[in-house]
Structure 1
Amino acid sequence: MHMSFVTELKKILFILIGAVLGAISLNYFLIPANVYASGFTGIAQLLAGVLRNTPVPASTGILLFILNIPVAILGWMKVGKSFTFYSIVSVAATTFSLEIIPIKVISEDILLNAVFGGVIAAVGIGFTLKWGASTGGMDIIAMVLSRMKDRPIGSYFFTLNAAIILTAGLLYGWEKALYTLVTLYVTSRVIDVIHTRHEKLTAMIITKKGKEIQQAVHQKMVRGITKIPAKGGFTDEDKELLIIVVTRYELYDLEQAIKEVDPHAFTNIVNTTGIFGFFRQD
């Protein structure tokens, strides 16, 4: 119980750190330079810019929170309460941080703003994903889609980000759109280093407690597991090789399930570039 509480506390802490880093990225680098983040954050930035000179101006933070309300409801119903709760915490903390951290010009160089804004945002997103939450928005939609149908989720991210780049170009000039592209590229590369940008991953688990791990995994997610008999090279002990394909959002839950049952299990995580067939069930 104590370890579980400490783990949850660390999870909340890293989600809050990720939210603060996201707000710093926006208010110190991206917003002053009119360069845009990816996903719902970029949409919130664009809307804030459009509404700035209207009778109903709204900040990026408030708009980000409003955009995430219907998505959070969808996630709560379709994905799971734990994942959605921590994602809501992340969005709420980001909104609060955006409101209390002032918008400040650190550099007049738009390329520096695009690169450093992208790097800082990616570190924040990477921390959040690594601890089993998300930054809301498209992440929750991707989870819903992965639970319903095994569609290529990357195409949805690409379409949304392409729309953000085109809109930025139309509103503020194509130079801003190109710098937004730089930010999106830098963000994706840094997230890949900290966590993973790949939508699907294959875990190969070598353990002496195959049945117990299978039960623990199935308590947390609906994924098929293939079991292959294996032998230890040095000990000649009988073991099992479990092969399971998961989404990047389930990687934290998988890691926790394995640690709880068999801390000595050897797990190899590899990127899955494509699959054939429906991977939810055996």
Structure 2
Amino acid sequence: MFWLQTKKVMVVIFGALLNAISMNLFLIPANVYSSGFAGIAQLLSKVLTDISPFSVSMGYLLLFLNIPVAILGWKKVGKSFTVFSFMSVLLTTFFLEIIPIKELSHDILLNAVFGGVILAVGVGFTLKWGASTGGLDIVAMVLSRAKDKPVGTYMFTLNAIIILTAGILYGWEKALYTLVTLYTSTRVIDAIHTRHEKLTAIIITRNGEDLKKAIHSQLVRGITTIPAKGAYTNETKDMMMIVITRYELFDLERIIKEVDPNAFTNIIETSSVVGFFRRD
């Protein structure tokens, strides 16, 4: 599993680099705003620079905003997911500081589209490997679990606040180009990794107790255990059912391989969940 974790770290580094390239070479020079906490940090950096004699780095603001969110994610979402997500934030901050802000194109539409695509590739592969770019993703997941509403609802609401604020402060043209970036990035992310789907994992295992403890130690999820018996061998086994988000699929698969490599796992897409979607 060491090589698997190493590859995950490499993907997080690659994603953070693409995020910084998108911001410093496309979105920031064109005054087009990103989504999530990156967009909030970008907007705050510009506002503080405009109203004060000090220039405040977007990278440091992004890191500062994510510290309380990382603590919240550690308690409410899952330790592994939060650690890799905060690692992504740290690396993004680092790359934002070392990559110069440079305008590659004077066409604002090209900046909005290419910035959105490059950002989405970084975010999409980071999500696919069981992490996130932090910030808004974690906040939306916590709110979703607390209110049992789709993650996408909160993502849309919080991003709408960024767009409206940008429009009020700096003109609606910039806000409309921000919408182009958000639409482009959403389409690309969905092509790489569908972010907001829930999944049901049905696991047939001989090591039910060990697997249950391993899952609970790393994922904040409830598990239903059902006695099962092999039809051919008549061997007694445990059938475990757990509902997760696609964020957590990578970690769940890794846990199952570590505890019981011979377990049979069926992953089913879940259209909706009624009741508590968390572990109390």
What TM-score do the two structures reach when normalised by structure 1?
0.84
**2:49 matches 1:52:** yes
Within 2, Cα distance between the matches of 1:194 and 1:230? 38
The aligned residue for residue 26 of structure 1 is 23
- Equivalences for 1:106-145 in 2 at 5 Å? 106-145=104-143
Within 2, Cα distance between the matches of 1:276 and 1:68? 31
One-letter identity of the residue aligned with 1:142: A
Contact 1:76 1:84 in 2 (8 A): yes
Post-superposition shift, 1:203?
A: 3.2
Within 2, Cα distance between the matches of 1:31 and 1:37? 9
Q: Structure 2, unaligned stretches of length 5 or more? A: none
Contact 1:224 1:280 in 2 (8 A): no
Structure 1 window deviating more from structure 2 (272-281 vs 99-108): it is 272-281
Within 2, Cα distance between the matches of 1:79 and 1:243? 19
How many equivalent pairs are there? 274
**2:274 matches 1:276:** yes
Post-superposition shift, 1:23?
A: 0.2
- Equivalences for 1:260-271 in 2 at 5 Å? 260=258, 261-262=260-261, 265-270=264-269
Q: Structure 1, unaligned stretches of length 5 or more? A: none
Alignment deviations for residues 215-253 of structure 1 (CA, whole Å, 9 cap, x no partner): 543443222336596989xxx677887543212322221
Within 1, Cα distance between the matches of 2:205 and 2:78? 30
Alignment deviations for residues 4-35 of structure 1 (CA, whole Å, 9 cap, x no partner): 32222222111111100000011111111111
One-letter identity of the residue aligned with 1:40: F
Contact 1:18 1:125 in 2 (8 A): yes
Within 1, Cα distance between the matches of 2:233 and 2:100? 60
The aligned residue for residue 161 of structure 1 is 159
The aligned residue for residue 224 of structure 2 is 225
What TM-score do the two structures reach when normalised by structure 2?
0.85
The aligned residue for residue 102 of structure 2 is 104
Inter-CA distance 158–16: structure 2 relative to 1 (3 Å threshold):
same
- Equivalences for 1:127-206 in 2 at 5 Å? 127-146=125-144, 148-205=146-203
Contact 1:150 1:279 in 2 (8 A): yes
The aligned residue for residue 255 of structure 2 is 257
**2:243 matches 1:245:** yes
One-letter identity of the residue aligned with 2:267: N
Within 2, Cα distance between the matches of 1:71 and 1:145? 12
One-letter identity of the residue aligned with 2:173: E
Within 1, Cα distance between the matches of 2:176 and 2:206? 51
Alignment deviations for residues 58-80 of structure 1 (CA, whole Å, 9 cap, x no partner): 12111111111222232234444
One-letter identity of the residue aligned with 2:44: L
One-letter identity of the residue aligned with 1:141: V
Contact 2:151 2:196 in 1 (8 A): no
One-letter identity of the residue aligned with 1:23: A
Within 2, Cα distance between the matches of 1:97 and 1:281? 36
One-letter identity of the residue aligned with 1:37: S
Within 2, Cα distance between the matches of 1:191 and 1:203? 23
The aligned residue for residue 40 of structure 1 is 37
Inter-CA distance 219–189: structure 2 relative to 1 (3 Å threshold):
same
Structure 1 window deviating more from structure 2 (117-126 vs 187-196): it is 187-196
The aligned residue for residue 16 of structure 1 is 13
